[in-house]
Amino acid sequence: MPPEETATRIDGPASAAVPRTPRRLRHPDRFRARYGPWALVTGASSGIGREIAEVLAAAGLHLVLVARRRDVLLTLADELTDRYGVQARVVDADLATPAGVDAAVAGSTDLDVGLLVAAAGFGTSGSFLDADPSVEVEMLDVNCRAVLALTQRFGRRLAARGRGGVVLLASLVGFQGAPHAASYAATKAYVQALAEALHVEWKPLGIDVLAAAPGPVRSGFAARAGMRMTLAARPADVAAPVLNALGRRGTVLPGGLAKLLTWSLRPLPRPLRVRMMSVVMRGMLDESRTPGCD
């Protein structure tokens, strides 16, 4: 589900704290041997990206942390370094721009990166006709163009080393159209299809590719965006299940709610699933709030 509405962007609240007891990987040594020694995580300043960064640090992987706000990333890097004894490099970059993508790649060219986690992204919701075209295009740039560029460029590096992994953050809304979040769902459908294809295409190259399709997640965006998320998973409950699924399957539905929603919709014909998503998404909108206002 979309974690935010209108123009709310990639990075969450600056006050978000790193949890002291993150859920751990099942086999950290094996994971580190296959996907280490370095991992690059986009959207690392908040939400799922931040939680994934900590789970990776707890497993002993060094980190390249990518997001827009350098101050938040530096604080996170210091915390992870002090807590887990890993190295952490900060790259402040806006992935809505080609220069931002180039910066993310250039910031790790001297490192042996074995894992890419593309967690940066944002969503919009509400009337498609009333949406700001510039915001919709920006979302397309972050959610699709940047994912395409980073996946291909790091995929070449992983293929050259003969092993590695790629995790792409999709969404449950990407499995069918989602009225009232039409563009967001379309961007996540691209991510889902890309990951599914590369999961098969890159397996002979030694590269594991995973699509992570969570349901609603409490990432700090709902209050700012005027959305109601009474049933939502915590980012801390999503991160470890996603990473534990890498190399074992092509798509993971982290969290009980994600599985429940998927299983309940799966038997329905696609047109009916779209109608059901319309009901779900409308129920998450705060009609008393003017879109785009904070």
Residues annotated as catalytic (active site), given as ranges = 184
Which tokens go with 68? Answer: 């827009």
Using an 8 Å Cβ cutoff, are 42 and 74 in contact? no
Which tokens go with 290? Answer: 């003017």
Residues 151 and 94: their CA atoms lie apart, in Å, by 16
Which tokens go with 85? Answer: 């004894």
Residues 123-148: b if buried by 16+ CB within 10 A, e if exposed? bbbbeeeebeeebbebbbbbbbbbbe
| AA letter at 15 | S
Residues 75 and 96: their CA atoms lie apart, in Å, by 23
Instruction: Reduce the DSSP state of residue 48 to 3 states and report it.
Output: helix
Q: Which residues contact 51 (CB under 8 A, 6 or more apart)?
A: 19, 22, 235, 236, 238, 239
- Which residues, listed in sequence order, are joined to residue 271 by a DSSP beta bridge? none
Using an 8 Å Cβ cutoff, are 164 and 158 in contact? yes
Exposed (0-12), middle (13-18) or buried (19+): which is 283, by Cβ within 10 Å? Answer: exposed
Using an 8 Å Cβ cutoff, are 284 and 229 in contact? yes
Residues 78 and 56: their CA atoms lie apart, in Å, by 15
Using an 8 Å Cβ cutoff, are 103 and 77 in contact? no
